[in-house]
A and B are shown apart, each in its own frame.
Chain A
Amino acid sequence: MKPKFAMYWASSCGGCEIAVLNTNEKILDVDANFDVAFWPVAMDAKYKDVEAMEDGSILLTLFNGGIRNDENEEIAKLLRKKSAILVAFGSCATEGCIPGLANLSPAREVVETAYHTVSTENPDNIYPQANYEMPEGVIHIPTMTSRVKTLEEVVDVDYYMPGCPPESHQIAAVLDLVIAVVKGEAELPPKGAVIGVGDSTVCDECDRKRDVKKVSEFTRAHLVGALDPELCLLEQGIPCNGPATRSGCNARCPEAGAQCIGCYGPAPGVVDYGARLISSFASVIDSNDPDEIERILDGIPDPAGQFYRFSLAGSLLKSSKSARNGKVLA
């Protein structure tokens, strides 16, 4: 009998699922070696079926998406109970990713934005109701948590696999590994390991020429006439997050002339991804004059977005002050 495989999609865009399918024929190996127990995107399944399973009976669960509502959290806990190996799969699950940027505003504002802005057609001001009386009975819909949380904030996680989405070749490699383990041909990495990545940063995989760094202006690629195709983007004033971002993606973006935006998260051992970038970018500013420095920094109009685009929910501060209202709730 084949070991069970599960994949779940919480607060995320679904790109991770596509990335898994992008492994092409490798997906057949999954089918060949696993019995897919639970994968809402791929096949119909009910939570109660999972609840019915024996604890730890699912060998491998790839959990993608962050925790934005009580349903996400409930299923996360359920799958934790039922899985032997729980992988935080993709940027959302590991560090909150783009949905995590919602942590810059209070949950209420998020709801407002969704249900009450010019772009919303909602004449009768209908808001989602936690419970709704229907002739068939009361309907419950998931309620939002105050902020987006990473998977590890709500359950114990075995492995982390960053990326938005994880590169298919990395997924393939991980699947191979697990299969090999199943066949008893390989060892699992130590618990808590980050898998499907390199052990350095994007620069390691980037072929661009680089010199000592002195930045006298931060700008945006589309504002620069012609970028030097050979030279390090940061040295050309493009705030490229490559230096601080975990390697493993083959430096796709910088190689293609677009700055790295950091979807692979921080390098090993790093406590706060954004802090690393703040420190390194500031360090190479080519001025000692406060006003001049401020002028140069104006080239980074949205620091929170620049440094925490993917990692806000997983950062030390996790959210903006307004998102926690500075209030202590019992």
Chain B
Amino acid sequence: MTEKNDFEPTIVGFTCNWCSYRAADLAGIARIKYPPNVRLVRLMCSGRLDPTFVMKAFAEGADAVMITGCHPGECHYLEQNYKALRRYLLLRRTLVAMGIEAERLHLAWASAAEGIQLAREITEMVERVRTLGPLNWHLNGSQPEVVSEAAIELEEVAA
């Protein structure tokens, strides 16, 4: 537990060039503070969000991924954020099926004016992930590790 709480998660955030990225800028201009755990990638639209990006982020060691876009009905490209929504819902189901906690993938709407809201979303996200603990996909399973009965017993002890 304690070991979990001083853990600093790394989160990749995908932002829309027209709303959430500007919201992030606005948060900066207003000097609103939030934890430094989120690293933002700018896309033209949340509709550009390719699930591959999310998989990639997890595979490369992100503890969580945040997708942000314009509010429904306010997409700069009219309705593409709905496509993002659809993909997010299916992607989340798939990740859950692969044992990744649903909370590690989060969709948040933030208009260009909502710097405070975005900052709050980020802060809350970081806290949620902190309690979930690290994912460390990039470390595990990459190097061959032998599972012998010994290992099995070890795991049983651990479990």
In the complex, A touching B, CB below 8 Å? yes
B100 touches A321 (CB 8 A): yes
Q: Which residues of A contact B59 (CB under 8 A)?
A: 316-318
Whether A275 touches B55, Cβ cut-off 8 Å, given contacts A282-B89, A288-B79, is: yes
B82 touches A288 (CB 8 A): yes
Per the bound structure, the CA–CA distance linking A328 and B149 in Å amounts to: 19
Stretch binding the partner chain, chosen from B2-10, B14-22, B134-142: B134-142
Per the bound structure, the CA–CA distance linking A303 and B85 in Å amounts to: 17
Interface size on B, residues (CB 8 A): 41
Per the bound structure, the CA–CA distance linking A328 and B138 in Å amounts to: 10
User: How many pairs of A and B residues are in contact by the CB < 8 Å rule?
Assistant: 137
Whether B56 is near chain A, meaning CB under 8 Å from some CB there, is: yes
A143 touches B87 (CB 8 A): no
For chain A, which range describes its interface: under 10, 10 to 19, 20 to 34, or 35 or more residues?
35 or more
Question: Least Cβ distance of B71 to chain A in Å?
Answer: 12
Q: Which residues of A contact B50 (CB under 8 A)?
A: 275, 279
A315 touches B87 (CB 8 A): no
Per the bound structure, the CA–CA distance linking A107 and B144 in Å amounts to: 12
Q: Which residues of B contact A149 (CB under 8 A)?
A: 144
Q: Which residues of A contact B137 (CB under 8 A)?
A: 317, 324
B85 touches A278 (CB 8 A): no
Whether A271 touches B136, Cβ cut-off 8 Å, given contacts A144-B147, A303-B97, is: no
Whether A319 is near chain B, meaning CB under 8 Å from some CB there, is: yes
Q: Can you name the residue of chain B whose Cβ is closest to the Cβ of A283?
A: B83
Q: Can you name the residue of chain A whose Cβ is closest to the Cβ of B91?
A: A278
Whether A123 is near chain B, meaning CB under 8 Å from some CB there, is: no
Per the bound structure, the CA–CA distance linking A282 and B1 in Å amounts to: 37
Whether A108 is near chain B, meaning CB under 8 Å from some CB there, is: yes
Q: Which of B82-124 contact A (CB under 8 A)?
A: 82-83, 85-87, 89-91, 93-94, 97-100
Q: Which residues of B contact A278 (CB under 8 A)?
A: 51, 87, 90-91, 94
Q: Which residues of B contact A111 (CB under 8 A)?
A: 147, 152
Write out, one digit per residue, whether chain A residues 268-285 have a CB within 8 A of any chain B CB (1) or not (0).
000110111011011101
A285 touches B52 (CB 8 A): no
Write out, one digit per residue, whether chain A residues 153-167 have a CB within 8 A of any chain B CB (1) or not (0).
010000000000000
Whether A122 is near chain B, meaning CB under 8 Å from some CB there, is: no
B155 touches A275 (CB 8 A): no
Per the bound structure, the CA–CA distance linking A279 and B97 in Å amounts to: 16
A307 touches B94 (CB 8 A): yes
Whether A316 touches B55, Cβ cut-off 8 Å, given contacts A111-B152, A329-B140, is: yes
Q: Which of A136-157 contact B (CB under 8 A)?
A: 143-147, 149, 154
Stretch binding the partner chain, chosen from A46-54, A92-100, A199-207, A289-297: A289-297
Whether A316 touches B56, Cβ cut-off 8 Å, given contacts A145-B144, A304-B97, A329-B140, is: yes
Per the bound structure, the CA–CA distance linking A329 and B72 in Å amounts to: 44
Whether A303 touches B94, Cβ cut-off 8 Å, given contacts A73-B144, A146-B147, is: yes
Q: Can you name the residue of chain B whose Cβ is closest to the Cβ of A284?
A: B86
A297 touches B93 (CB 8 A): yes
Whether B29 is near chain A, meaning CB under 8 Å from some CB there, is: no
Q: Which residues of A contact B91 (CB under 8 A)?
A: 278, 282
Q: Which residues of B contact A70 (CB under 8 A)?
A: 144, 146
A146 touches B79 (CB 8 A): no
Q: Can you name the residue of chain A whose Cβ is closest to the Cβ of B143?
A: A329
A274 touches B152 (CB 8 A): no
Q: Which residues of A contact B72 (CB under 8 A)?
A: 288
Question: Least Cβ distance of B135 to chain A in Å?
Answer: 7
Q: Which residues of A contact B144 (CB under 8 A)?
A: 70, 73, 145-146, 149, 154
Kindly name the residue among A127, A321, A324 whose own CB sees the greatest number of chain B CB atoms within 10 A: A321
Question: Least Cβ distance of B140 to chain A in Å?
Answer: 4
Whether A129 touches B51, Cβ cut-off 8 Å, given contacts A73-B144, A304-B94, A317-B58, is: no
Whether A327 is near chain B, meaning CB under 8 Å from some CB there, is: yes
Per the bound structure, the CA–CA distance linking A293 and B107 in Å amounts to: 15
Per the bound structure, the CA–CA distance linking A325 and B100 in Å amounts to: 11
Contact of B89 among A104, A106, A144, A294 (CB under 8 A): A294
Per the bound structure, the CA–CA distance linking A145 and B141 in Å amounts to: 10
Question: Least Cβ distance of B118 to chain A in Å?
Answer: 20
Instruction: Enumerate the 4 nearest inter-chain pairs by beta-carbon distance, A residue then B residue, closest first.
Output: A321-B99, A324-B140, A304-B97, A324-B141
